[in-house]
Amino acid sequence: MAQQASDQDQPTIDRYIDALWLEKGLSDNSLQSYRRDLYQWSYWLAQRGSGVLLCGRADALDYLAEQRGQGKSARSTARLLSCLRGFYRYQLREGRLQEDPLANIEAPKLGRPLPKSLSEADVEALLAQPDDDIAIEQRDRAMLELLYAAGLRVSELVSLRFSQLGLEQGVVRVTGKGNKERLVPMGEEALHCLQAYLRGGRPQLLADGESDVVFPSRRGQMMTRQTFWHRVKLYAQRAGIRASISPHTLRHAFATHLVNHGADLRVVQLLLGHSDLSTTQIYTHVARERMQALHRAHHPRG
């Protein structure tokens, strides 16, 4: 239930909301969210005999700590702090305050969200779903195998051309972000599936047509990312995978499983085409969480 601002604070808060609408043109939903946060702040202060223009730094610290204690996430608390900061900067600008009660209060560290991945068993189940006797599913199997074996971005996969394949060497040459090229090994299973598809399913899909795209659509054109995403969802349902997955989930699984098996982080960085090692380091956190989960599940004192 929304809490009401104190009588002394409500005009001050409403003026600020009006200013937000005039100066920034925020949506009604955003304005209501700001108003709700500020009304709740005012209500809490009123219980302490204070108000939004009377409070101090200690009040703000206590309030934020209480919000975290009630189970609010670091992200929600950071958003609340941002709302309050904007409010007090406006009051300083308008000359209603001499000091900012939120000065030098740091926002909680959010960290980077861990990428969604799949277990190795889930990946095996997913890759086993396409039927090699159906041309379009043979294509899909080759795509899934290559996506997982080489850690490609879905845009790199659907736009793959014959000139990028090194079938004799078992590698694929990929042009990633920033037009940076990288050579990535396919692995034996992906190479085997790809060669079988090139001999069988692909000629059936093209029906005597021509295309330089390795994985054409039914119409012989480059497949869209959305189309492939729907194909992945189809096989995930068949495999009984309940988690929401996308083609990018297989790229994350590729990196996570490499790190789990001891691959050097800089090698994973090169394979993924990350320009900065810090981007790749997220997978060390994924591996650490997996180890902790295994320890909790199997150690007698976990």
The three-state secondary structure class of 245 is coil
Q: What is the pLDDT of residue 299?
A: 42
DSSP string, 196-229: HHHHTHHHHHHTT---SBSSB-TTSSBPPHHHHH
C-beta separation of 144 from 232 below 8 A:
yes
- 39, 148, 197, 283: the active-site residue: 283
Looking at 28, 58, 93, the residue that finishes a domain is 93
Residues 86 and 140 occupy one common structural domain: no
Please indicate whether residue 180 is annotated as part of the active site: no
Residues 127 and 219 occupy one common structural domain: yes
- 177, 199, 219, 296: the active-site residue: 177
Q: What is the pLDDT of residue 298?
A: 47
**Within a domain: residue 271?**
yes
**Within a domain: residue 3?**
no
The three-state secondary structure class of 159 is coil
Residues 132 and 270 occupy one common structural domain: yes
The number of domains in the chain is 2
C-beta separation of 210 from 96 below 8 A:
no
C-beta separation of 182 from 274 below 8 A:
no
Please indicate whether residue 283 is annotated as part of the active site: yes
Residue in 175, 179, 148, 125 with CA at minimum distance from that of residue 247? 148
Q: 296 has which bridge partners? A: none
Q: What is the CATH number of the domain that holds 154?
A: 1.10.443.10
- 139, 141, 153, 202: the active-site residue: 153
- Domain with 170 in it: 120-298
From CA 20, how far away is CA 277, in angstroms rounded? 40
Q: How long, in residues, is the chain? A: 302
Token match 């200690």: residue?
Answer: 58
Would you give per-residue pLDDT tens digits along the chain (302 residues)?
Answer: 457 778 888 999 999 999 988 887 777 888 888 999 999 999 999 998 898 899 888 888 888 888 877 777 777 888 888 899 899 999 999 998 888 888 877 766 555 554 566 778 888 898 899 999 999 999 999 999 998 888 888 888 999 999 999 998 888 888 776 677 788 888 889 899 999 999 999 998 888 778 889 999 888 888 888 888 899 889 989 999 887 787 777 777 777 777 777 766 676 666 676 655 555 555 555 445 444 454 455 445 54
| pTM score above 0.85 | no
Give first-to-last CA distance, the chain, whole Å.
40
Strand order of the sheet with strand 165-166? 165-166, 171-175, 181-185
Give per-residue pLDDT as tens, 124-168.
898 899 999 999 999 999 999 998 888 888 888 999 999 999 998
C-beta separation of 95 from 53 below 8 A:
no
- 202, 251, 252, 257: the active-site residue: 251
Give per-residue pLDDT as tens, 88-106.
999 999 998 888 888 877 7
Q: What is the CATH number of the domain that holds 19?
A: 1.10.150.130
From CA 172, how far away is CA 156, in angstroms rounded? 11
Please indicate whether residue 173 is annotated as part of the active site: no
- 85, 116, 225, 248: the active-site residue: 248
Who contacts 199 (Cβ-Cβ below 8 Å, separation ≥6)?
none
Q: What is the pLDDT of residue 254?
A: 74
Sign of CA dihedral 71, 75, 80, 85: positive
Please indicate whether residue 251 is annotated as part of the active site: yes
- CB burial of residue 22 (10 Å; 0-12, 13-18, 19+): exposed
Residues 160 and 67 occupy one common structural domain: no
| Residue 65 in tokens | 């700590």
Residues 285 and 215 occupy one common structural domain: yes
Residues 156 and 221 occupy one common structural domain: yes
Please indicate whether residue 248 is annotated as part of the active site: yes
